[in-house]
Structure formats: C-alpha cells, structure tokens
Amino acid sequence: MASTLQTIHTNVGYLVVLVVLVAAVVAYRAAAQPPVSRLSSLTMVLLDLHVTVGIALYVAAGWWDGGALVAYVHPLLGVAALGVGHAGLARARRSGSSRAAAQGLLGTLGLVVAAVFVASV
C-alpha cells in the first residue's frame, strides 16, 4: 500500500505544480472576475488532498526515519504551502481582490516547487 501511495503522491505532486501555476496566472489576469475563481478553489482542494495523501504516506511508510530533507523539510514545506494558499484565498475573499488570490497562489507555488525539489534530491 505504501508504494502505491508513494507513486500517487509523486505523480500528483507534479500535477499540483502545474495546476497551481495555471491558477496563479488565471488569478492575475482575472481583474474583473470574482476574487476567488472556481479554479483557485479547486486548486486548493487538490493541494488539500495531496497533503493528506502525503501525511498518510509519511505515517504508513515511516518516513520520519529517512533523511532530514524527506523526513522534516518536505512535509513542512507541503503544510506551509497549504497554509499560504488558504490564507491567500481567504485574504482575497475579504478584500475582493483577485490579485490577493494570485499572490497567495504564487507563494504556494514557490513552496510546492521547493517541496518537490527537496523530495527529488
């Protein structure tokens, strides 16, 4: 089961990078649209699911015994990306600015790319 979760988590990680990038670009270009588009919301749902699978894999496979990058840095970057994304979308809803959503998504993108990089080293 752990190897199946590992495969899913790895492959969906690359998809998450692409989807967050597209959602950030769409949010920056959507000045007249609602502050948080359906794409932005679905992007966060995908990231929620991805982090949940990552946590399940962390527990099921005992990754805390791995190297420091995989055991500590990768999960922290994933959870931080989730927090930044949700905070950015919440700020966009409060302020009514799609730019705030885009900024949150760009912060999320940076953290997700860093998490993928750390897991690949």
Q: What is the CATH number of the domain that holds 70?
A: 1.20.120
Report d(CA 107, CA 25) in Å as an integer: 13
In total, how many domains does the chain have? 1
| pLDDT at residue 32 tops 60 | no
Report d(CA 32, CA 101) in Å as an integer: 13
Report d(CA 103, CA 48) in Å as an integer: 18
| pTM metric for this prediction | 0.89
pLDDT tier for residue 29 given thresholds of 50, 70 and 90 = confident
Q: What is the pLDDT of residue 3?
A: 83
Interval 60-81: pLDDT, tens: 888 878 788 888 999 999 999 9
Q: What is the pLDDT of residue 90?
A: 94
pLDDT tier for residue 31 given thresholds of 50, 70 and 90 = low
* Domain with 71 in it: 2-120
* Mean pLDDT for the stretch of residues 70-93: 94
**Are 70 and 63 within 8 A, CB to CB?**
yes
Q: Write the single-letter amino acid at 77.
A: L
Q: What is the pLDDT of residue 26?
A: 87
